[in-house]
Every structure is written in structure tokens, then in C-alpha cells.
Chain A
Amino acid sequence: MKRASIPLGLVFSRSGPYAMMAREMEKSALMAVDEVNQSDAFDFTLIPRLRDPGGIVPAYHTACDDLIREDHVEHIVGCYTSASRKQVIPIVERTERLLWHPARYEGFESSDNVIYVGAAPNHTVVPLVKHMLEHIATDVFCAGSNYVWTWETNRVLREIVTSAGGRILAERLLELGEGAVDHIVREIIERKPPAVFNTLVGESSYVFMRALHAASSRAGISIPMLSCSLCEPELKLIGSAASVGCITSSAYFESIEGPENRAFVARWKVRHGAHSNPSVDGQSTYVCVMLLARAIRRAGATEVAAVRRAAANLRYDSPQGPVWVDPDNNHCFLTPRLARSVPGCQFEIFWEADAPERPDPYLSNLDLAAIGAKAATGNETKRSNHLRVVK
């Protein structure tokens, strides 16, 4: 029996400022496409149609316009930054196409023509800040890249921290790609905050973590660092010593136990090499393609309205665990996890939610009073021992 061919748009910037992450995502999408195409469980073949906007924001609009007009795609997997997604939304809304968006983002959006497979803010920043308040510190120093992800993540952080009686000691921002971090490192070493919340992205973050690690070692101190975006390939780029000990919130780590992830990691290593590691955004891109393929199969059609209906509440046992689309807001139920980066460029998971958590892109269900009350118990002991001397 001949399988039907379904064109699938893939929009990732193989060049430009976040090319490293986007290449990981494209690799993962193509891996999922091959698995679907080789599987007897699907009676169609996905034909990938690749576009590279080169990290240029308006080029995303052109790329998707092309895909829709020339390649007649109904579904597009892609985008990494919110700026690029905002370029694509008007065109998918106007032409009734569907964008499958893999990356975590800051929330406060809910388009009928986007399936948000990446984590919502209640999956990332909220559990991380809760953990910080209950186990590390109530006062925190923020270092971040000067764009929407940092602004919004820090706002949520500030709301939760101040409602728990803590303080934002400083909020230092660097332009995207900026590598001059010495003034921030110097300030941190001088002020010795009980925790550093790092929302720097890309090269800025790697330079910052290396410089802070070196300066802390010289000063003989160790300051806990928290992140909602660090992933395994980045740990390698940062270097084994400087990347250790960062408390990271994510829906996916390579070290997740469970047969689905073990098999996924094994297939990944066969395809990309034993020293290659999947990342949260890569895995999420893989999940996008798999959710789409399952929804097309269930719908028996590629038409957007039918696929969207079919995708609603369709549970997929993915590498990161069970995932399904909440039809109320087109975001996904995901399992939040917290891990500590350890030697060997891996993460050791020390907490995960009991079950996949309903997405809350507008943080409408954030109960500040409850978090504050819980954090208030035992704060005093925490304040006294927040600085650990390195032996």
C-alpha cells in the first residue's frame, strides 16, 4: 500500500545568534520524521521542507509564507525565540495553518493556531523559585539577558520572592550576546548574595558561569546558582568545572529514568554519536513531530481544524513522560523537574512533580499567599547557613 505524502515545514535558524540550539532542534525534528516514516504505525510519510531564517526576525515571516504558498504545508514545526513566533502567528492565523512550537517561553499568549509544546511559566520558573525559597534563600541576585524572557521571568520571581518576604538584591542585565561580564561577577563576589538567578542566554551565560566559577574559587566561596534554561549541550560548552552545581528547572533532562527516555537516548546516540546529548529543546521538537503525527493519524486528515481537535487530550508517552495538549489553551500538560548539574555534563534530578501539570500560560492559578506561607517556615535557619565555605 502506498503511503500518502504530507509536507511538513521546519523553520530553524541554522545560522545566527542561537544557531546551536536551533540545529539541535532541527536534528531532533528530522529524527522524529524518520522514525514516523519508518514505522508501520503510520500510513503516511512526512516530507520535511526546511527553511533557515538565519536568526533574522522578519525572515521568519518570509520563510513561513514560502512554506505555505510553495510547499503547501499545513503544519510547521519551529521557532525558538518569542520574537520569531510573533512573526509567524499572523500568517498562520490568517491562512489557518498550525505552528507546533517546541521551546519554553514566558507565557501570556494563547493562539488557536499554535500548539505550545514547550513549558509554560508554571512548569519552569514557579517550581524553581518555590524550591529556592524553601531550601536555599529568600534573597536573590539576578543576572539576565536584556529581553522578554528575562524581563518576565524576573517579574514572576520578584512577585513570588517579595510575597514571601524576600528581596531582589539586584537585577543586572546584559545585551544579547554580550560577553563583558566582569562587573557583574565583581559585584556578586563583593556582595556575596545567598543565591544567583541566571537568565542569561547563549554565549553571555557561558562566559558568566566560567567567570563566576573562577572568581568564587579564588575567593573561597560557593554561591548557589539557579537557571530555567540550562541544558546538557550547554554544560559541555561551559566546561566541566564551571558548569557543575547549577540548580535547573526543566521538563526534560537526559537522565530521566523510564523506558521511553532510555530508548530515545539510545536511538539519539546511534544517530548522532555516542558523545552527543539530547537537549530539552531538541527533545521537545521531537515531541512536536510525534504529537502531530499521532494527531494526523487520529484525525485521518491533515486539515488544521481536524488535527487540532484530534490532538486535544491525546496522550503520548514521550521521552519526558506523558504529554498531552490542553484544548483550553493549546499548551501541553508536562511534568516539571528540578535537577543539579553534576560532573560529566549531566543533570541529577532531585525533584519531579507527581503527575503532569496543567499548563497555566497566564499564571492565573499562581497562589502567592500559599507559596509565601510555606517559604516563611524555617527561613531563619536558612539565612544563617546560606554561605558554604569550600574546603
Chain B
Amino acid sequence: MTRPSPFSVRGRRALMVMRDEREIAIVRRQLNRLGMTTAEIDPTEVPSPDEVDVIVLDADSIPIKSDPTTAWRVNAPIIALIGTETPSRLKWLLDLQPASFLIKPLRSAGLYTALVVAFDAAQRRIEEAAHVERLEDRIRSRRVVFAAVLQVMRAHALSEEDAFALIRQTAMRHRTTIEQLSAEIIAAGGMPNRTSRTA
């Protein structure tokens, strides 16, 4: 899988959730210079989750007591525009998990960095989520591996260490995972047929 470069922003779609006309003009002009397409909604509206690669959100324009986890649970990375640095506002912002941010007053400089950091952070988030899922799969299958080890210990009168070593070597030889082979051992009620060569 090729990793999309966070530096190439041309053609990506930005949704501006802002209210201040001067700030909107600055962000729109800069996004257009970068070859991105823009759409705008008012902060009181809820964005539709698709068709958007990044959201530029004026944090000051949304009441702090509105729940960020419901209205703003979209997959696109969020760039927060921050004017008020009070802890109450920042706590609200943390719940939103912004991928990057810009401090007001806005200038043309800074937005590209914020976009690159946001796209990179979003990509890393996707990769980390996939990594975590793989690890969780392995944790879930530990029970299966343990059951397979017990079965092999009984069937072949082996110690736990030797039984595990046998499963591992067999899995390696057949180019499969320990977890997959363990599932087969349990399904077959012992080492599956293809393991007879090793016995």
C-alpha cells in the first residue's frame, strides 16, 4: 500500500466551518492557491461526513457546552482555529481531537503547515488503528493458541514449552501463523493432516 503524501494537497476537499468573513476570505484564498476545493457551512449546521478530506473549524464559534463527540464525530481530520486560550475552551477542543491548529489572527502563512500536519496525523491515525486491530486480534487468539498447546501436550506427551515450539516450527514450515495453525489444531482435534510430515 502506498502511503499518500501529506505534502500534496492539490485536489483535496476542505470544509470551512467558520463565521468571520475576513477569516473565511483568508482561508479560502490560501486553500485555492494550494489547489484545494472548498465548501462552507455555518457552525450551527452539522457537517455531512463524506466528501470532505479536512475540516477547518473556528473553535470560538461553537458554544462550549455543545457536545463535540456527537456533532463533530467525522472521519476527516480537523484543523482548529483558536482565538480563546482558556482551559475551558481547550478542554472542549481536546475532546474534538484536532489533528492540528492555527492561532488567530490568521495569515496566509501557516495554513499549509497546518494542512500537512493534519493529513499526516490523519494517515498515522489510520495506520495506528490498523496496527492496534492486528494486536487485538492476536490477544483474542491467545485463548485459541493456549487451547492448541494443551491439546498437543496431551496428544504427544510433551511439555508446554516443547508443544509450543512444535506448533511454532510447524506454522513456520507451512508459512502460516501460529494463530491460524492453532485454530486448525482445535478444529481437527489434534495436529491437522499436513503436520504428519513433522511427526
Contacts and interface: CB of A to CB of B under 8 A. Distances in A.
Interface string B69-91: 00000000000000111111101
Contacts of A151: 64-65, 86, 88-89
B110 interface: no
Interface residues of B, number: 17
Contacts, number: 44
Contacts of B86: 106-108, 148, 151-152, 155
Contacts of B65: 146, 151, 173
Task: Please classify how large the interface on chain A is, using the bins under 10, 10 to 19, 20 to 34, 35 or more.
Answer: 20 to 34
Interface in B29-83: 60, 63-65, 83
Q: Is the interface of B mostly helix, strand, loop or mixed?
A: loop
Contacts of B64: 148, 151
Interface in A37-83: 58, 61, 82-83
A220 interface: no
A109 B85 contact: yes
A125 B32 CA distance: 46
B161 interface: no
Interface in A94-124: 106-109
Contact of A86 (B21, B22, B84, B87): B84
Contacts of A154: 88
A86 B60 CA distance: 11
A194 B86 CA distance: 28
B87 A146 contact: no
A109 B91 CA distance: 17
B104 A146 contact: no
B4 interface: no
A273 B4 CA distance: 72
Nearest to A151: B88
B75 to A, nearest CB: 28
A86 B85 contact: no
B89 to A, nearest CB: 7
Contacts of A147: 63
A109 B104 CA distance: 12
Question: Which of A58, A148, A154 has the largest count of B CB atoms less than 10 A from its CB?
Answer: A148
Given A148-B64, A155-B87, 4 more contacts: A107-B86, A108-B85, A146-B63, A151-B89
**Lowest 8 CB-CB distances: which A-B pairs, in order?**
A90-B105, A155-B88, A151-B88, A152-B86, A108-B86, A151-B64, A108-B85, A152-B88
Interface of B: 20-22, 60, 63-65, 83-89, 91, 104-105
